[in-house]
Amino acid sequence: MTMTNVICVGCDSHEKTLVNMIGVNREAGQQWSVANTQRGRQRLIARLKEKADEIGGAEIVFGYEASSQGFVLHDELKAAGIECIVLAPTKIERSSKQKRNKNDKFDGQHILNIIRSHVLAGTELPAIWVPDAQTRDDRETVRMRHDVTEKQTVIKTQIQMLLKRHSIEKPVEVGKSGTKSYRRWLKAMSESQPGAGFRSALQSLIRQLEFSEAELRRLDQDVNQLYEMPHLKPVVEALDQEVGVGRLAAVTYAVEVGDFGRFRRRQQIGAYWGLTPSSNESGEVDDRKGHITHQGSARVRRMLCQSGWSRAKHDPGERAAYQRLVEKNPKRKKIAMVAIMRRLAIRLWHVGRKAQLEMTKAA
- What does the pLDDT read at residue 101? 62
Mean pLDDT of 289-317: 88
| pLDDT for residue 289 | 57
pLDDT at 247: 96
More confident position, 150 or 178? 150
**Does residue 1 have a pLDDT over 50?**
no
In whole angstroms, give the CA distance from residue 114 to residue 10.
8
Alpha-carbon distance 227 to 29, whole Å?
48
User: Cα(349)–Cα(340) distance, rounded to whole angstroms?
Assistant: 14
Q: What are phi and psi of 278, to 5 degrees?
A: -70, 160
Phi, psi of 49, rounded to the nearest 5 degrees:
-70, -35
CA-angle at 332, arms to 329 and 336, nearest 5°:
95
Q: Which amino acid, residue 27? A: E
- In tens, the pLDDT along 200-252 reads 999 999 999 999 999 999 999 999 999 999 999 999 999 999 999 999 999 99
Alpha carbon 306 to chain centroid, angstroms: 17
Sign of torsion, CA 130 119 270 66?
negative
Query: What is the distance between the alpha carbons of residues 180 and 193, in angstroms, rounded to a whole number?
Result: 20
CA nearest neighbour of 140 among 51, 241, 56, 71:
71
Residue 352 · residue 238 · CB < 8 Å: yes
Q: How confident is the model at residue 2 (pLDDT cuts 50, 70, 90)?
A: very low
The mean predicted confidence, pLDDT, of the chain is 91
Does residue 282 carry a pLDDT above 60? no
CB atoms inside a 10 Å sphere around CB 87: 20
Residues 73-84, mean pLDDT to the nearest whole number:
97
Question: What are the beta bridge partners of residue 17?
Answer: 35
Report the phi/psi class of residue 63: left, alpha or beta, with left for phi > 0 and alpha for psi in -120 to 50.
beta
Alpha-carbon distances, residue 294 vs 61, 165, 271 (angstroms): 30, 34, 9
What domains are defined for the chain?
A: 6-121 (3.30.420.40), 134-220 (no CATH), 233-362 (no CATH)
Q: Does residue 34 have a pLDDT over 70?
A: yes
